[in-house]
Amino acid sequence: MKKILENALKNTGKADYVEIRLEKKESTSIHFQGKKLEKIDCSQQMGGSVRALVKGGWSFVTFNQYDKLKEKVGQAINIATLIGREKSRLAEVPPVVEVVKRELNKDFRQVSLKEKKELIENYNNIILNYSPKIQSTNVIYGDSFSTVYFANSEGSFIRHEKPNLIVSLTAIARDGDNVQMANESLGTVKGFKKAEDISLRAEKAAFRAVNLLKAKPVEGGEYTVVLDQTLGGVFIHEAFGHLSEADFLYEDDRMKNLMKLGTKFGFKKLNVIDDGSISNLLGSSKYDDEGVKTKKNYLIRNGILTGRLHSRETAKKMNEMPTGNARALNYRFKPIVRMTNTYIENGKTSFENLISGVKKGIYAKKFYGGNTTFEMFTFSAGEGFMIRDGKIAEPVKDVVLSGNLFTVLLNIESIGDDLKMIEAAGGCGKGGQAPLPVSFGSPHLRIKKVVVGGK
């Protein structure tokens, strides 16, 4: 394959840069809804794309057959020639030649479809049989193994193996008109073994859904809120991480000014990192989809905004260094700036000390949904409890947190010592590319003056 790609990239003529990505993928999908098996299938896909840069203009050509690659490169160059009107700007990176293999703890490609179906059906039955109040379920299994070949006109060639497995367990409980749901999920790149014994997660989803039926709606107001690792991780990914993606920033003067490096951006002990080089997490990869080596990138350090995430093009345009964050969902999409594994670094406060000083507050856990608009956000917790006199008290529901990102980061009072990286089913969406595998994480966080919607 290396020779084939090298030959296709010879004599690229007037192009300033050309890259080819080829992908072979095999996948399995299983879906139970209630007692019904909604979907079960296996599939194989193959295809590729060529991206060319000429005088600042990009073209992108996709295909499903690997033959006539030279012609497809020529087609991409000709299209880019029609677009380009300025000088091409692309940060320099050293060419790479490497094969990146992945070792799996039980290769799911060697597990029969029957065995996968029986395992997921068992989890589905655990939820259905938990209580008479369980009305339905939504249980999903998916696995995929992609082999991606990348080569560019600068001499890089990378063969990259990319496994992915997810299980999502949703329990739906009902008591009259009161309907509640709870989800537990798993995402992993390590293989099938991690999915073989998650019965406790199925039970936990059922327990939480039934327990929410007893919860009373939270009273709306302004509270000191403690976020668990999941909700803290989602918050820093959604509300802050996307604002750090430079393809968004360099085109928006207002946000570029708000996100100016060196600005005080939060609690003095707050450190936020995006790191695609961590081994064996959903967002991990040795190289991004432009062949740039991933690394640990501090976005906030000691409360000061210190970095952002880049592709080669955005790095050059903003006179900064590439960060290894150009990612594509698959060969059908061009690489754009995306997060990898984004998290808040550990603090030094125990959970007991985090809540001990809270006279009346809310402990918000899990994640149910939400949205962000620039620096404004709204998130719904999947589970909530009142904090009274420093102790976790009664459960509450309909906990919706909203506010301004910059204000909330400054209102962080304390950071826990219990960082947890969350690998969940689903993924990140941007520019029509979803779900892209990512991980996120946080220790427990205590934040003052958070607006909580309720009755």
Which pTM was predicted? 0.95
pLDDT, mean of residues 400-407: 95
Query: What distance in Å separates the CA atoms of residue 39 and residue 32, rounded to the nearest whole number?
Result: 7
- Helix (H), strand (E) at residue 316: helix 312-317
Same domain, 201 and 293: no
Same domain, 208 and 261: no
Query: What distance in Å separates the CA atoms of residue 299 and residue 33, rounded to the nearest whole number?
Result: 41
Same domain, 202 and 80: yes
Pick the last residue of a domain from 168, 197, 214. 214
Give me the residue label for tokens 């949904």: 369
Which three-class secondary structure state does DSSP give residue 219? Answer: coil
Same domain, 9 and 97: yes
Which of 40, 55, 174 has its CA nearest to residue 120? Answer: 40
pLDDT, mean of residues 36-43: 97
Query: What is the maximum span of the chain, computed from C-alpha positions, in angstroms?
Result: 73
Q: Kindly report, residue by residue over 277-328, the tens digit of the pLDDT.
A: 999 999 999 999 999 999 999 999 999 999 999 999 999 999 999 999 999 9
Tell me the residue type at 155. G
- Helix (H), strand (E) at residue 204: helix 199-212
Query: What distance in Å separates the CA atoms of residue 337 and residue 298, rounded to the nearest whole number?
Result: 16
- Helix (H), strand (E) at residue 125: helix 113-128
Pick the last residue of a domain from 214, 235, 253. 214
User: Is the confidence at residue 402, as pLDDT, over 80?
Assistant: yes
Given this model, what pLDDT does residue 369 score?
A: 85
Q: What is the DSSP letter of 110?
A: G
Query: What distance in Å separates the CA atoms of residue 197 and residue 188, rounded to the nearest whole number?
Result: 14
Same domain, 305 and 400: yes
Given this model, what pLDDT does residue 214 score?
A: 95
- Model confidence band, residue 7 (pLDDT cutoffs 50, 70, 90): very high
pLDDT, mean of residues 424-442: 94
Tell the burial category of 435 from Cβ atoms under 10 Å away from its Cβ (0-12, 13-18, 19+): middle
Opening angle at CA 276, ends 271 and 280, nearest 5? 115
What's the chain's average pLDDT?
96
Same domain, 331 and 250: yes
Same domain, 117 and 155: yes
Name the domain count of the chain: 2
Q: Kindly report, residue by residue over 81-106, the tens digit of the pLDDT.
A: 999 999 999 999 999 999 999 999 99
In sequence order, what DSSP letters do the residues of 48-87 get, joined into one string? EEEEEEETTEEEEEEES--S-HHHHHHHHHHHHHHH--S-
Same domain, 171 and 249: no
Neighbours of 42 (CB within 10 A): 13
Give me the residue label for tokens 């079960």: 40
Given this model, what pLDDT does residue 101 score?
A: 96
Query: What distance in Å separates the CA atoms of residue 205 and residue 217, rounded to the nearest whole number?
Result: 20
Q: How many residues does the chain have?
A: 455
Which of 217, 213, 148 has its CA nearest to residue 182? Answer: 213
* Bridge partners, 287 (sequence order): 293
Same domain, 198 and 239: no
Q: Kindly report, residue by residue over 111-161, the tens digit of the pLDDT.
A: 999 999 999 999 999 999 999 999 999 999 999 999 999 999 999 999 999
Which of 229, 230, 227, 256 has its CA nearest to residue 243? Answer: 256
Given this model, what pLDDT does residue 184 score?
A: 97
Which of left, alpha, beta for 262 (phi over 0: left; psi -120 to 50: alpha)?
Answer: left
Tell the burial category of 279 from Cβ atoms under 10 Å away from its Cβ (0-12, 13-18, 19+): exposed
Distances from the Cα of 246 to the Cα of 22, 249, 276, 299, 452, angstroms: 26, 5, 16, 12, 31
Q: Kindly report, residue by residue over 329-359, the tens digit of the pLDDT.
A: 999 999 999 999 999 999 999 999 999 989 9
Given this model, what pLDDT does residue 75 score?
A: 97
pLDDT, mean of residues 425-436: 93
Token pair, residue 308, equals 């952002």
User: Is the confidence at residue 46, as pLDDT, over 90?
Assistant: yes
Q: Within its chain, how far is the Cα of 221 from the centroid?
A: 31
pLDDT, mean of residues 368-377: 90
Give the CATH number, domain containing residue 148.
3.30.2290.10
Token pair, residue 273, equals 């990192």
Same domain, 168 and 222: no
Q: Percent of the chain at pLDDT above 70?
A: 100
Pick the last residue of a domain from 158, 182, 214. 214
Same domain, 207 and 260: no
Q: Kindly report, residue by residue over 71-81, the tens digit of the pLDDT.
A: 999 999 999 99
pLDDT, mean of residues 213-238: 97
Given this model, what pLDDT does residue 377 score?
A: 95
Given this model, what pLDDT does residue 388 score?
A: 98
Query: What distance in Å separates the CA atoms of residue 347 and residue 86, rounded to the nearest whole number?
Result: 47
Given this model, what pLDDT does residue 340 score?
A: 98
Indicate the Cα dihedral angle 121, 122, 124, 125, nearest 10°. Answer: 120
Q: Within its chain, how far is the Cα of 395 from the centroid?
A: 29
The answer to whether 173 and 134 are in contact (CB under 8 A) is yes
Q: Kindly report, residue by residue over 241-258, the tens digit of the pLDDT.
A: 999 999 988 888 888 888
Give me the residue label for tokens 């059922």: 206
Same domain, 247 and 192: no
Distances from the Cα of 75 to the Cα of 68, 80, 335, angstroms: 11, 9, 19
User: Is the confidence at residue 13, as pLDDT, over 90?
Assistant: no
Query: What distance in Å separates the CA atoms of residue 284 and residue 287, rounded to the nearest whole number?
Result: 9
- Model confidence band, residue 455 (pLDDT cutoffs 50, 70, 90): low
Domain that holds residue 58: 2-214
The answer to whether 394 and 216 are in contact (CB under 8 A) is yes
Give me the residue label for tokens 């939820």: 127
Q: Kindly report, residue by residue over 147-170, the tens digit of the pLDDT.
A: 999 999 999 999 999 999 999 999
